[in-house]
Amino acid sequence: MQKRSLLYIGNKLSQKGIPVTSIETLGNFLEKEGFCVYKFSDKKNKLFRLVDMLWNTFVYARKVTVVLIDVYSTQNFYFALAVANLCRLLKVPYIPILRGGNLPERLERSWAQSKKLFHGAKMNVAPSPYLLEAFQNKGFQNLTYIPNTIEIINYPFLKRKVYAPKLLWVRAFADIYNPILALEVLEKLIETHPGASLCMVGPDKDGSLQKCKRFAEDNQLPVTFTGKLSKEDWIDLSTDYDIFLNTTNFDNTPVSVIEAMALGLPVITTNVGGIPYLVQNEKEAILVPPNDAHIFYQKIIAIMETPEAINEMTERARKKVERFDWQKVKELWLALLKE
């Protein structure tokens, strides 16, 4: 394939203590397929990051065939909007990639800006059927579905034989991901299973990590806080744990849940955003309402009492996420980027 140049605009902040995002994972995958990918921005300060994004869009716009833009639903929505406005001014095609789990609400709150951003795009990429449906319902037609992707070879499947339970939580510590709920679940669990424990992996984003540490200390809970780990390190760590918790209040298609399914961990997750579009309840994962520690507790007990059924569930989950392997998903990206 002839080498083509792309500009990718997103939050490239893994070297600043923030979890790796798709600008690095997808960007690196595309580079392996022969694309030259310019990636911005790695500035942690938001104002500097916005300026860096705009400046490099101006500099590289004439050198690339298309601009990829990660679009989130919070303040970073306006970063994407500014970059898209500049792309239209420079007459360079751009492709928004819909990342924010709360983007349907953003469409309602910022409809005028959303129309400019998404209608003006060459194509909008929805990584989940959830966002695909939400945007279709608002009348957008320049849409395509390309799921989030992993390299399945890097995720060895481990069938758990005993559910201790040892709980694993992997996410950035931020209020929207509700990490305190995992601690509330553990607090309830150790009343009946004093050997239970919890490991929480991820960097702090908004002060939630310190709140969780104080809660664990005040309630004398057996919790390990690892901070940010590399992908390889947390995959190695996962072999010591037997249940994965996802406590978020907003989400799209969380890669951490896909990864847990690939590793053979039974997943208990809130049924918010795009997650019910990702998994079938009781078939590939267990879906529960948000903010309910008691129902999480009940489902953990159910896992411990029905190990054979849970092992069947994890095998189905592994087969489901094998569809997200880069070797399969890349064909969708290559077809889009050849147009």
Under 8 Å between Cβ of 91 and 59: no
- pLDDT averaged over every residue in the chain: 94
3-state class (DSSP) for residue 231: helix
User: How far apart are alpha carbons 337 and 339 in whole angstroms?
Assistant: 5
Look up residue 77 and give its amino acid.
F
Order the strands of the 197-201 sheet from edge to edge: 223-227, 197-201, 166-170, 243-246, 267-270, 286-288
Residue-level pLDDT at 221: 98
Polymer length of the chain? 339
> CATH classification of 5-146, choosing from 3.40.50.2000, 3.40.50.12780, 3.40.50.12160, 3.30.2320.30?
3.40.50.2000
The CATH number that domain 152-323 falls under is: 3.40.50.2000
- Domain ranges within the chain, ordered by starting residue: 5-146, 152-323
The yes-or-no verdict on residue 40 having pLDDT over 90 is yes
pLDDT interval class at 3 (50, 70, 90): low
Q: What is the pLDDT of residues 66-99, one digit of tens each?
A: 999 999 988 899 999 999 999 999 999 999 999 9
**Region 184-193: what's the mean pLDDT?**
97
Residue-level pLDDT at 92: 96
Q: What is the pLDDT of residues 252-288, one digit of tens each?
A: 889 999 999 999 999 999 999 999 999 999 999 999 9
Look up residue 235 and give its amino acid.
I
Q: Quote helix, strand, coil % in the chain, to nearest 5.
A: 50, 15, 35
Residue-level pLDDT at 29: 94
Look up residue 304 and give its amino acid.
M
Q: What is the pLDDT of residues 52-61, one digit of tens each?
A: 999 999 999 9
The yes-or-no verdict on residue 168 having pLDDT over 70 is yes
pLDDT interval class at 1 (50, 70, 90): very low
Residue-level pLDDT at 161: 83
**Region 124-144: what's the mean pLDDT?**
96
> What tokens does 137 get?
């319902």
Equal CATH topology for 5-146 and 152-323 = yes
Q: What is the pLDDT of residues 200-209, one digit of tens each?
A: 999 998 999 9
3-state class (DSSP) for residue 243: strand
